[in-house]
Amino acid sequence: MKIDPESRNIQGITTLILFIVLNVLYIVTCLPLVTIGAATSALYEVTLRYADDERGDLIRGYFRALRTNLWRGTVVFVLLGVPMAMLAFSAVFWLTMDGLVTAVAGALSILGTLLLGAALLYGLALVAWFDASLRRTLRNALLLPLVEPARTMGILLLPVTVACVAYVLPQTLFLVATIGFSVGAYVSALLLHNVFRRRQMDPSELEPINPHSGE
């Protein structure tokens, strides 16, 4: 019996295996915690390339991107992730108390958490896809949620939905551990490509950014 490696079924299975391996690699490289930013940037880089006409090698590209994005990804994660976590804690604190003032404070904290969460995801994607200064990356990351609210909602809903489903249905944790992060990043990459192309076409609203030139 002959197996055609070029058949669509074989290619589909191969791609699925690659995404599973990529997912496991991402989880393992996030375990030191301080590497979450760099690992997420690396995951965005390979999925952004794959979403762009299936360019690049998912596994080798991930290790290469992990080294390349280590410093900037970590700094962006700290500068945006820490205040986001503080606002999330503040939201929980205020919402456990009674009163109109505390309810308003809690609502504002939630909005701030969502804004910084979106900025964090954009920032890590910008680190992955654009060769820009840290200051410009942070500026663009904070501006993008404001100028792209609809697509930002989609990018935010992906991880939030996965987290909620995993919490309500613990049996789905197996899917998260095998394909949840890699496939989620790929879907996000499709939205991110759309955002980046739109913003480059209208530089008057956003500080111009220059994409990586090579593989």
Q: What is the pLDDT of residues 166-200, one digit of tens each?
A: 889 888 899 999 999 999 999 999 999 999 988 77
Q: Is residue 213 part of a domain?
A: no
Q: Is residue 185 part of a domain?
A: yes
How high is the pLDDT of residue 203? Answer: 41
Q: Is residue 76 part of a domain?
A: yes
Q: Is residue 69 part of a domain?
A: yes
Measured CA to CA, the distance from residue 72 to residue 91 in angstroms comes to 28
How high is the pLDDT of residue 105? Answer: 93
Q: Which domain holds residue 132?
A: 8-201
pLDDT in tens, 111-161: 999 999 999 999 999 999 988 899 999 999 999 999 999 999 999 999 888
Q: Is residue 45 part of a domain?
A: yes
pLDDT in tens, 137-148: 999 999 999 999
pLDDT of 213 strictly over 70: no
How many structural domains compose the chain? Answer: 1
Q: Is residue 208 part of a domain?
A: no
Q: Is residue 2 part of a domain?
A: no
Model's pTM, two decimal places? 0.87
